[in-house]
Amino acid sequence: MLPLRPGKYTAMKEIYHILIQYQGSGAMLLLYAVALAVLLYNEKDRSVRILFGYMPLVIFIVFFIPPVYRIYSRLDGADTYYRLLWLIPMSVTIVYSIARCFAGRRLIFLAGACMVIILCGQFTYSNVHIVKAENRLHIPQAVISVCDTITNDTGGERAMAAMPSELVTFVRQYDTRILMPYGREMLMPAYVNYYNSVYAAMEQTQVIDLHRLVEAAREYSCGYIVLNASRSISGNYEREGLELVTDLGAYRVYRDSGR
Partner 1 sequence: MPVLTGLFPISFLPTHRRRLHLVIVSGYFSSFALFEILGLPVLFFMDGEFRYLVVSYVLLSLVFIVLGVQRIRKTDGIPGFRRRILRTQKGVFLEDRYAFAAWWVYAALLLFQLFMAYTRASFDGDDAYYVVQALQTYQWGNMYSYVPYTGISTVLDGRHAMAMIPMWAAAVSKLSTVHPAIVTHTMLPLIFLPFSHLCIYCALDEMFRSRQFNERRRLLPVSMVLICLLQIFGNVSIYTPETFLLMRTWQGKTVFANIVLPTLFWLLLGIAHHYEKEREDTPKEKKDAAILFAGLSIIHITAGFCTSLAPFMTAMLTGLACLMTAVAYKNPRILRNGILCCIPNMIYAAILLRLMLIIFLSSS
Q: Which is nearer to partner 1, 33 or 187 (CB)?
A: 187
Kindly state the number of chain residues that form the binding site for partner 1, as judged by CB under 8 A: 84
Q: Which is nearer to partner 1, 185 or 219 (CB)?
A: 185
Nearer to partner 1, 12 or 59 (CB): 59
Residues within window 174-193 making contact with partner 1, judged by CB under 8 A: 174-185, 187-188
User: Measured between alpha carbons, how far is 169 from 159 in angstroms, rounded to an integer?
Assistant: 17
Q: Is the dihedral of CA 70, 75, 76, 77 positive or negative?
A: positive
Single out the segment in contact with partner 1 by CB under 8 A; choices: 8-16, 113-121, 148-156, 242-250: 113-121
Q: What are phi and psi of 254, to 5 degrees?
A: -115, 145
Cα–Cα distances (Å) from 165 to 127, 171, 185, 223, 228, in that order, read 22, 10, 10, 17, 10
The least distance separating partner 1 from the CB of residue 207, rounded to whole angstroms, comes to 26
d(CA 153, CA 135): 23
217/240 with CB nearer partner 1 = 217
Site for partner 1 in 80-99 (CB under 8 A): 80, 82-87, 89, 91-92, 94-96, 98-99
Report the nearest approach of partner 1 to the CB of residue 118 (Å): 5
Ranges within 16-45 binding partner 1 (CB under 8 A): 21-25, 27-28, 44-45
SS (HEC) of 140-155: CHHHHHHHHHHHHHHC
Binding residues among 130-149 for partner 1 as defined by CB under 8 A: 130-134, 136-139
State the DSSP H helix or E strand holding residue 252, giving kind and residue range, or none if neither.
strand 251-256
Site for partner 1 in 191-250 (CB under 8 A): none
> 1 vs 46, which CB is nearer to partner 1?
46
CA distance 218 to 258: 9
Closest by Cα among 258, 241, 254 to 162 = 254
Tell the smallest beta-carbon distance from residue 162 to partner 1 (Å).
11
Q: Give the shortest CB-42-to-partner 1 separation in angstroms.
A: 12
The least distance separating partner 1 from the CB of residue 232, rounded to whole angstroms, comes to: 26
Question: Would you list the DSSP string of 178-246?
Answer: EE-SS-GGGGSGGGTT---HHHHHHHSSSEEEHHHHHHHHHHTT-SEEEEETTSEEES-TTTTTEEEEE
Rounded Cα distance, 12 and 249, in Å: 51
Residue 124 is a binding residue for partner 1 (CB under 8 A): yes
Q: How far is the CB of 120 from partner 1 (least distance, A)?
A: 8
Taking the mean position of all CA atoms in its chain, how far away is CA 94?
Answer: 27
Contact residue for partner 1 among 78, 117, 233, 245 (CB under 8 A)? 117
Restricting to residues 41-70, name those near partner 1 by CB under 8 A. Answer: 44-48, 50-52, 54-55, 58-59
